[in-house]
Amino acid sequence: MTGNSEPQLPFTAVPFDACLGADVEGIDITAMDDTAFQFLAEALDTYHVIRLRGQKVSDPDLISFASKFGDLDPPGPSPYGRPIHPTHPELNVITNLKDEGGIPLGNLANAEAVWHADITCRAKPPKASALYAIEVPPEGGDTYFADMFAAYDALDDAIKQRIEGLKAIHDEAHNSVGMLRHGFEEVTDVRDTPGARHPLVRKHPKTGAKSLFLGRRPYSYIVGLDLDESEDLLDELWAHATQPQFTCGVQWRPGDLVMWDNLAVLHRRDSFDDSYRRVMHRAQIKGTEAIA
Ligand code: OGA
Ligand code: MN
Protein backbone atom coordinates (compact mmCIF):
# COMPACT_ATOMS: atom_id res chain seq x y z
CA MET A 1 0.00 0.00 0.00
CA THR A 2 1.09 3.57 -0.57
CA GLY A 3 1.47 6.20 2.09
CA ASN A 4 -1.81 7.94 1.32
CA SER A 5 -4.05 5.60 3.34
CA GLU A 6 -6.28 7.31 5.89
CA PRO A 7 -4.72 7.84 9.30
CA GLN A 8 -6.21 5.49 11.89
CA LEU A 9 -8.66 7.41 14.11
CA PRO A 10 -8.27 6.81 17.83
CA PHE A 11 -12.00 6.11 18.22
CA THR A 12 -14.42 3.50 16.92
CA ALA A 13 -18.13 2.79 16.70
CA VAL A 14 -19.01 -0.75 17.72
CA PRO A 15 -22.56 -1.52 16.56
CA PHE A 16 -24.97 -3.09 19.03
CA ASP A 17 -26.20 -6.56 18.14
CA ALA A 18 -29.35 -4.94 16.71
CA CYS A 19 -30.45 -2.94 13.69
CA LEU A 20 -29.60 0.35 15.42
CA GLY A 21 -27.30 1.67 18.13
CA ALA A 22 -23.54 1.64 18.65
CA ASP A 23 -21.00 2.11 21.40
CA VAL A 24 -18.59 4.88 20.54
CA GLU A 25 -15.25 4.14 22.16
CA GLY A 26 -12.21 6.34 22.64
CA ILE A 27 -13.94 9.70 23.13
CA ASP A 28 -14.02 11.71 26.35
CA ILE A 29 -16.91 14.10 25.79
CA THR A 30 -15.31 16.74 28.02
CA ALA A 31 -12.23 16.91 25.77
CA MET A 32 -13.45 16.52 22.21
CA ASP A 33 -11.70 18.03 19.22
CA ASP A 34 -13.46 18.68 15.90
CA THR A 35 -12.51 15.29 14.49
CA ALA A 36 -14.03 13.53 17.47
CA PHE A 37 -17.17 15.65 17.22
CA GLN A 38 -17.53 14.92 13.49
CA PHE A 39 -17.10 11.23 14.20
CA LEU A 40 -19.83 11.33 16.87
CA ALA A 41 -22.22 13.33 14.71
CA GLU A 42 -21.78 10.86 11.85
CA ALA A 43 -22.19 7.90 14.19
CA LEU A 44 -25.47 9.40 15.42
CA ASP A 45 -26.67 9.76 11.81
CA THR A 46 -25.66 6.20 10.99
CA TYR A 47 -26.76 4.34 14.13
CA HIS A 48 -29.46 6.75 15.45
CA VAL A 49 -28.47 5.85 19.05
CA ILE A 50 -24.95 6.15 20.40
CA ARG A 51 -23.66 5.23 23.82
CA LEU A 52 -20.41 6.47 25.38
CA ARG A 53 -19.49 4.58 28.53
CA GLY A 54 -17.31 5.62 31.45
CA GLN A 55 -17.85 9.36 31.06
CA LYS A 56 -17.27 11.78 33.95
CA VAL A 57 -19.52 14.68 33.14
CA SER A 58 -20.46 17.73 35.22
CA ASP A 59 -23.58 19.72 34.38
CA PRO A 60 -21.58 22.45 32.58
CA ASP A 61 -19.77 19.66 30.65
CA LEU A 62 -23.08 18.17 29.56
CA ILE A 63 -24.33 21.59 28.47
CA SER A 64 -21.23 22.39 26.45
CA PHE A 65 -21.15 18.91 24.86
CA ALA A 66 -24.80 18.98 23.80
CA SER A 67 -24.54 22.59 22.57
CA LYS A 68 -22.15 21.43 19.85
CA PHE A 69 -25.15 19.70 18.20
CA GLY A 70 -27.35 22.82 18.24
CA ASP A 71 -29.25 25.16 20.55
CA LEU A 72 -30.47 23.54 23.71
CA ASP A 73 -34.12 23.11 24.44
CA PRO A 74 -34.78 23.70 28.15
CA PRO A 75 -37.41 21.55 29.87
CA GLY A 76 -40.94 22.87 30.24
CA PRO A 77 -42.25 24.09 33.58
CA SER A 78 -42.18 21.54 36.36
CA PRO A 79 -45.60 20.34 37.47
CA TYR A 80 -44.33 21.04 41.01
CA GLY A 81 -43.93 24.79 40.59
CA ARG A 82 -40.15 25.16 40.76
CA PRO A 83 -37.21 24.74 38.41
CA ILE A 84 -36.50 21.14 37.41
CA HIS A 85 -32.77 21.72 37.81
CA PRO A 86 -31.89 24.10 40.65
CA THR A 87 -28.87 25.74 38.98
CA HIS A 88 -28.90 24.82 35.27
CA PRO A 89 -32.30 25.52 33.72
CA GLU A 90 -31.03 24.16 30.36
CA LEU A 91 -31.03 20.65 31.80
CA ASN A 92 -33.79 18.22 32.60
CA VAL A 93 -33.56 15.88 35.58
CA ILE A 94 -35.01 12.42 35.10
CA THR A 95 -35.25 10.85 38.54
CA ASN A 96 -37.50 9.15 41.07
CA LEU A 97 -35.90 11.01 44.03
CA LYS A 98 -38.04 13.30 46.16
CA ASP A 99 -37.24 16.05 48.65
CA GLU A 100 -37.98 15.69 52.38
CA GLY A 101 -41.50 16.93 51.77
CA GLY A 102 -42.16 14.18 49.22
CA ILE A 103 -42.04 16.56 46.25
CA PRO A 104 -40.43 14.95 43.16
CA LEU A 105 -36.96 16.30 42.30
CA GLY A 106 -37.31 15.50 38.60
CA ASN A 107 -39.47 14.03 35.86
CA LEU A 108 -40.87 10.57 35.08
CA ALA A 109 -40.38 9.17 38.63
CA ASN A 110 -40.08 5.36 38.55
CA ALA A 111 -42.92 4.82 36.09
CA GLU A 112 -42.90 2.91 32.84
CA ALA A 113 -42.60 5.24 29.85
CA VAL A 114 -44.41 3.71 26.88
CA TRP A 115 -42.95 4.00 23.37
CA HIS A 116 -42.68 7.65 22.33
CA ALA A 117 -40.53 10.34 20.79
CA ASP A 118 -39.97 13.51 22.82
CA ILE A 119 -42.14 16.61 22.42
CA THR A 120 -43.32 15.77 18.91
CA CYS A 121 -46.39 17.84 19.85
CA ARG A 122 -44.40 20.78 18.48
CA ALA A 123 -44.26 21.83 14.83
CA LYS A 124 -40.46 21.44 15.03
CA PRO A 125 -39.76 18.67 17.53
CA PRO A 126 -36.39 18.37 19.31
CA LYS A 127 -33.84 16.65 17.12
CA ALA A 128 -31.79 14.83 19.71
CA SER A 129 -31.34 14.13 23.39
CA ALA A 130 -28.29 13.34 25.49
CA LEU A 131 -29.09 11.42 28.66
CA TYR A 132 -26.32 10.99 31.23
CA ALA A 133 -26.62 8.35 33.93
CA ILE A 134 -25.44 9.42 37.39
CA GLU A 135 -27.14 6.78 39.57
CA VAL A 136 -28.91 3.70 38.23
CA PRO A 137 -30.96 0.96 39.89
CA PRO A 138 -29.50 -2.56 40.07
CA GLU A 139 -32.45 -3.80 38.02
CA GLY A 140 -35.25 -2.21 35.99
CA GLY A 141 -35.21 1.20 34.32
CA ASP A 142 -33.75 -0.16 31.06
CA THR A 143 -34.35 2.00 27.99
CA TYR A 144 -35.21 0.70 24.51
CA PHE A 145 -35.07 2.32 21.10
CA ALA A 146 -36.84 1.44 17.84
CA ASP A 147 -35.53 2.31 14.37
CA MET A 148 -38.23 4.06 12.36
CA PHE A 149 -36.32 3.84 9.07
CA ALA A 150 -36.13 0.05 9.36
CA ALA A 151 -39.79 -0.08 10.41
CA TYR A 152 -40.89 1.96 7.41
CA ASP A 153 -38.78 -0.10 4.99
CA ALA A 154 -40.39 -3.32 6.24
CA LEU A 155 -43.98 -2.14 5.67
CA ASP A 156 -45.69 -3.74 2.73
CA ASP A 157 -46.37 -1.58 -0.28
CA ALA A 158 -50.12 -1.42 0.29
CA ILE A 159 -49.65 0.15 3.74
CA LYS A 160 -46.93 2.46 2.46
CA GLN A 161 -49.38 3.77 -0.13
CA ARG A 162 -52.22 4.01 2.36
CA ILE A 163 -50.30 6.16 4.84
CA GLU A 164 -48.58 8.42 2.30
CA GLY A 165 -49.88 11.94 2.86
CA LEU A 166 -51.78 11.11 6.07
CA LYS A 167 -51.15 13.13 9.22
CA ALA A 168 -51.55 12.25 12.88
CA ILE A 169 -52.07 14.42 15.94
CA HIS A 170 -49.22 14.27 18.48
CA ASP A 171 -50.64 14.81 21.96
CA GLU A 172 -49.35 17.78 23.90
CA ALA A 173 -51.42 17.30 27.03
CA HIS A 174 -49.54 14.35 28.60
CA ASN A 175 -45.92 13.48 29.25
CA SER A 176 -44.37 10.13 28.39
CA VAL A 177 -45.53 8.46 31.59
CA GLY A 178 -49.09 9.64 31.00
CA MET A 179 -49.15 12.55 33.48
CA LEU A 180 -51.18 15.59 32.50
CA ARG A 181 -48.82 18.46 31.66
CA HIS A 182 -49.00 21.79 33.44
CA GLY A 183 -51.94 23.86 32.15
CA PHE A 184 -53.74 21.09 30.17
CA GLU A 185 -57.06 19.35 30.60
CA GLU A 186 -58.05 15.77 29.77
CA VAL A 187 -59.77 15.31 26.43
CA THR A 188 -62.40 12.63 25.94
CA ASP A 189 -62.40 12.55 22.14
CA VAL A 190 -58.99 12.06 20.50
CA ARG A 191 -60.12 14.15 17.55
CA ASP A 192 -59.82 17.09 19.97
CA THR A 193 -56.31 16.19 21.16
CA PRO A 194 -54.12 19.31 21.31
CA GLY A 195 -50.73 19.16 19.58
CA ALA A 196 -48.98 19.33 16.22
CA ARG A 197 -50.16 17.34 13.20
CA HIS A 198 -47.30 15.62 11.42
CA PRO A 199 -47.15 13.33 8.37
CA LEU A 200 -46.99 9.63 9.32
CA VAL A 201 -44.07 9.35 6.92
CA ARG A 202 -41.03 11.55 7.40
CA LYS A 203 -38.53 12.18 4.65
CA HIS A 204 -34.97 12.71 5.86
CA PRO A 205 -34.02 16.23 4.74
CA LYS A 206 -30.57 15.18 3.51
CA THR A 207 -30.94 11.63 2.26
CA GLY A 208 -34.64 11.61 1.35
CA ALA A 209 -34.95 8.26 3.15
CA LYS A 210 -38.41 7.65 4.56
CA SER A 211 -39.23 6.74 8.14
CA LEU A 212 -42.36 6.30 10.19
CA PHE A 213 -43.09 9.29 12.38
CA LEU A 214 -45.50 8.14 15.07
CA GLY A 215 -44.74 10.24 18.17
CA ARG A 216 -46.85 8.50 20.77
CA ARG A 217 -49.80 6.16 20.65
CA PRO A 218 -51.99 7.49 23.49
CA TYR A 219 -54.43 10.21 22.32
CA SER A 220 -53.20 10.00 18.74
CA TYR A 221 -55.61 10.34 15.84
CA ILE A 222 -55.13 10.20 12.07
CA VAL A 223 -56.68 13.36 10.73
CA GLY A 224 -59.66 12.88 8.44
CA LEU A 225 -60.30 9.19 9.14
CA ASP A 226 -63.27 7.75 10.98
CA LEU A 227 -62.37 7.21 14.61
CA ASP A 228 -62.46 3.39 14.30
CA GLU A 229 -60.40 3.44 11.14
CA SER A 230 -57.84 5.72 12.76
CA GLU A 231 -57.62 3.52 15.86
CA ASP A 232 -57.16 0.36 13.76
CA LEU A 233 -54.53 1.85 11.50
CA LEU A 234 -52.61 3.35 14.42
CA ASP A 235 -52.73 0.01 16.29
CA GLU A 236 -51.42 -1.75 13.20
CA LEU A 237 -48.60 0.74 12.64
CA TRP A 238 -47.56 0.75 16.29
CA ALA A 239 -47.58 -3.04 16.54
CA HIS A 240 -45.45 -3.20 13.42
CA ALA A 241 -43.00 -0.43 14.37
CA THR A 242 -42.16 -1.74 17.84
CA GLN A 243 -41.39 -5.35 16.89
CA PRO A 244 -38.18 -6.63 18.50
CA GLN A 245 -36.28 -6.81 15.21
CA PHE A 246 -36.39 -3.00 14.97
CA THR A 247 -35.26 -2.36 18.55
CA CYS A 248 -32.23 -2.27 20.81
CA GLY A 249 -31.99 -2.02 24.59
CA VAL A 250 -29.72 -0.17 26.99
CA GLN A 251 -28.98 -1.44 30.48
CA TRP A 252 -27.51 1.58 32.15
CA ARG A 253 -24.30 1.89 34.08
CA PRO A 254 -23.32 5.06 35.93
CA GLY A 255 -21.20 7.16 33.55
CA ASP A 256 -23.14 6.10 30.43
CA LEU A 257 -24.06 8.90 28.09
CA VAL A 258 -26.66 7.92 25.49
CA MET A 259 -27.67 10.17 22.63
CA TRP A 260 -30.57 9.47 20.33
CA ASP A 261 -31.92 10.99 17.14
CA ASN A 262 -35.40 11.92 18.28
CA LEU A 263 -36.77 12.14 14.73
CA ALA A 264 -35.45 8.71 13.72
CA VAL A 265 -36.31 6.53 16.72
CA LEU A 266 -38.95 5.85 19.31
CA HIS A 267 -37.87 5.09 22.87
CA ARG A 268 -39.41 3.59 25.95
CA ARG A 269 -38.33 2.86 29.50
CA ASP A 270 -39.08 0.05 31.92
CA SER A 271 -40.39 0.95 35.34
CA PHE A 272 -38.24 0.19 38.38
CA ASP A 273 -38.68 -0.33 42.09
CA ASP A 274 -39.09 3.02 43.81
CA SER A 275 -36.83 1.94 46.67
CA TYR A 276 -33.90 2.22 44.23
CA ARG A 277 -32.35 5.50 43.17
CA ARG A 278 -32.13 6.51 39.51
CA VAL A 279 -30.70 9.93 38.60
CA MET A 280 -30.08 11.07 35.03
CA HIS A 281 -29.42 14.54 33.65
CA ARG A 282 -30.61 15.28 30.17
CA ALA A 283 -29.82 17.88 27.54
CA GLN A 284 -32.23 18.18 24.64
CA ILE A 285 -31.31 19.77 21.33
CA LYS A 286 -33.80 22.00 19.54
CA GLY A 287 -35.15 20.85 16.24
CA THR A 288 -35.09 23.09 13.21
CA GLU A 289 -36.97 20.76 10.92
CA ALA A 290 -40.69 20.69 10.19
CA ILE A 291 -41.51 17.03 9.52
CA ALA A 292 -42.05 16.30 5.84
C1 OGA B 1 -36.57 10.83 28.29
C2 OGA B 1 -37.00 9.48 28.58
C3 OGA B 1 -35.87 7.54 29.34
C4 OGA B 1 -35.15 7.06 30.55
O5 OGA B 1 -35.66 11.33 28.99
O6 OGA B 1 -37.11 11.44 27.35
O7 OGA B 1 -37.93 8.99 28.00
O8 OGA B 1 -34.45 6.08 30.42
N9 OGA B 1 -36.24 8.86 29.48
O10 OGA B 1 -35.32 7.65 31.63
MN1 MN C 1 -38.61 10.44 26.39
239 assigned to some structural domain: yes
In a domain, 176, yes or no: yes
Instruction: Give residue 138's domain range.
Output: 12-285
User: Has residue 291 been placed in a domain?
Assistant: no
Is 264 a residue whose pLDDT tops 90? yes
Number of domains, the chain? 1
For residue 134, which ligand has an atom nearest its CA? 1
Q: Report the Cα 164 to chain-centroid distance in Å.
A: 24
CATH number (domain holding residue 75): 3.60.130.10
Q: What is the pLDDT of residue 213?
A: 98
Pocket of ligand 1 (CB under 6 A): 94, 108, 113, 118, 129, 131, 143, 176, 267, 269, 280, 282
| Single pTM value for the model | 0.95
pLDDT confidence tier of residue 4, bands split at 50, 70 and 90: low
Atom of ligand 1 nearest to the CA of 107: 5
List phi, psi (to 5°) of 120.
-75, 0
**Interval 63-73: pLDDT, tens:** 999 999 999 99
Q: Decide if 5 is inside a domain.
A: no
Within a domain: 7: no
pLDDT band for position 200 (cuts 50, 70, 90): very high
- Write down the pLDDT at residue 76: 80
Residue 271 falls within a domain, yes or no? yes
Tell me if 197 is assigned to some domain: yes
CA nearest neighbour of 258 among 97, 35, 22, 8: 22
The number of C-alpha atoms within 13 Å of 69 and in the hemisphere containing its C-beta is 29
Q: What is the pLDDT of residues 166-179, one digit of tens each?
A: 999 999 999 888 88
Is residue 133 one of the residues assigned to a domain? yes
